[in-house]
């Protein structure tokens, strides 16, 4: 079937697949598993947003791609929230 496709159709098909697979892979590498599952339901739209946001600090992406400053931002962003009690 691929051999019978016109070159333009083949390129469009490859581009469409990459437009979904690449952000999905980045989402997984960033450790955003819940958002990956949501992206499965929404045809990958969420993955584009997640690919641009900070990664979980313990993820493969953060360990390999972030410098010390960006890793500190990720740790601050994903730090456990402690609620102040007004007792």
Q: pLDDT by residue (tens digit) across 54-85?
A: 999 999 999 999 999 999 999 999 988 656 56
Q: What is the per-residue pLDDT across 5-36, written as a single tens digit (0 to 9) for each?
A: 688 888 998 998 898 899 999 999 999 999 99
Residue 69, token pair as written in the block: 């400053």
Q: How far apart are CA 58 and CA 41, in angstroms?
A: 25
- Is the distance from CB of 51 to CB of 76 less than 8 angstroms? no
| pLDDT the model gives residue 82 | 59
Rounded CA-CA distance 53/41 in Å is 19
Name the 3-class secondary structure at 15.
helix
All structural domains of the chain with their residue ranges: 7-77
Whole-prediction pTM: 0.73
pLDDT(2) > 60: no
List the one residue out of 37, 42, 44 whose CA is nearest residue 17.
Answer: 44
């Amino acid at each position: 079937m691929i051999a019978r496709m016109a070159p333009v159709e083949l390129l469009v098909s490859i581009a469409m697949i990459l437009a979904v697979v690449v952000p999905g892979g980045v989402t997984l590498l960033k450790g955003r598993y819940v958002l990956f599952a949501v992206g499965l339901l929404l045809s990958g739209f969420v993955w584009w947003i997640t690919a641009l946001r900070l990664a979980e600090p313990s993820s493969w992406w953060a360990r390999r791609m972030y410098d010390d400053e960006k890793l500190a931002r990720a740790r601050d962003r994903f730090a456990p929230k402690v609620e102040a009690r007004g007792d």
